Amino acid sequence: MYPDLSYVLHDIFGTPPDNWASIVKIFGLMLAIAILCSSYFLGLEFKRREAEGSLHPVKITKDGKTTTVWPHEKVGDITIVAAISGVIGAKLFALFESVESIRAFIRDPLHSLFSGSGLAIYGGLIVAFFVVRWYVNRMGIRTLDICDATAPSLMIGYGVGRIGCQLSGDGDWGIVAGPKPGWFVLPDWLWSDTYPRNVAEEGIRMADCTGRYCMELAQGVFPTPVYETLMAFAIFGILWGLRKKLVIPGQIFFLYCMLNGLERFFIEKIRVNDTFNIMGITASQAEIISFVLFFIGLGGFIFVTRKAKKREAPLS
């Protein structure tokens, strides 16, 4: 694993770990790359929609002056708004991800808020959705238009971000994998990983290890970030391929909700999680949200499709 850049340089050049390059954290670096990837594909989709006429110039009023700009020119601003609100939302939702995290917040709110660990991806998506919706509505861009345009870029960003989870070993791994079955013909590291030098500093100490990060898991676990990366890239491909065919506003976004919900719901079954017990049902925060997200997507897809067909139906 590579908790920070110094460990990358250590593997490549043999330099001692925990040097000046330690300031560059691998998870943070991959998160920045994920944001840039999302921004790039969002810009491409905005330009495509502008060319076909489904997105129009918007008027921006500042200091009493009104200017007209194309939506793709505001991609940078939208990305910054989404990134900041997303990190805040991810941190807030992480505070309530388990009974223990809630108790820790009650005991010491400031430490829970400003500690460097703990981000819940769904919290980031939910808060960023409402903040970005407010921001683009002020410019006159319709909610469903921005939702459809951002859906593929959200998935590519999610996939790249999960690479950071895997490379750094941030604790988002799976349950103990057990012996690899004979039918699993892929490389061993796709079945289980002990996450040596993980940034979460969990497990047992590695023999003859130097540097700050010297822990690895006692047993191999499913490398769930790898699985999520592969599934996220596959979902991105589906959404990117269908975006010109599903032209009813909202269809691409609600399809994203369904696929995202399915992916996360099933990965939670083999992932290490903090859980709640609700009326005898044990589920994680992400499992509950993904379940709801799928049905929001299903209901929303059916609603916008039927609404569009009724609008197009000839009057008798």
pLDDT on residue 297: 97
One-letter identity of residue 185: V
Closest CA to 289 of 260, 311, 269: 260
**Whole-prediction pTM value?**
0.89
The pLDDT, as a whole number, for residue 181 is: 93
Q: Is residue 263 part of a domain?
A: yes
> In this predicted structure, what is the pLDDT of residue 131?
93
Residue 230 belongs to some domain of the structure: yes
Q: What are phi and psi of 59, to 5 degrees?
A: -100, 130
3-state secondary structure (DSSP) of residue 12: helix
The confidence score (pLDDT) of residue 110 equals 66
The verdict on residue 276 lying in a domain is: yes
- 314 within some domain: no
Closest CA to 121 of 224, 217, 23, 4: 224
Q: How many domains does the chain contain in total?
A: 1
Flag whether 214 is in a domain. Answer: yes
Each residue's pLDDT expressed in tens, for the chain with a length of 316 residues: 999 999 999 899 988 888 899 999 999 999 999 999 999 999 999 999 999 988 888 877 777 788 888 989 989 999 999 999 998 988 888 887 666 767 776 777 765 665 555 677 888 888 999 999 998 888 888 888 889 999 999 999 999 999 999 999 998 999 999 999 999 999 999 999 999 999 999 999 999 887 789 999 999 999 999 999 999 999 999 999 999 999 999 999 999 999 999 999 999 999 987 777 767 777 888 899 999 999 999 999 999 999 998 887 665 4
Structural domain includes residue 313 = no
pLDDT value, residue 46: 94
Say if 223 falls within a structural domain: yes
Structural domain of residue 272, as residue ranges? 5-308
| Residue 316 located in a structural domain | no
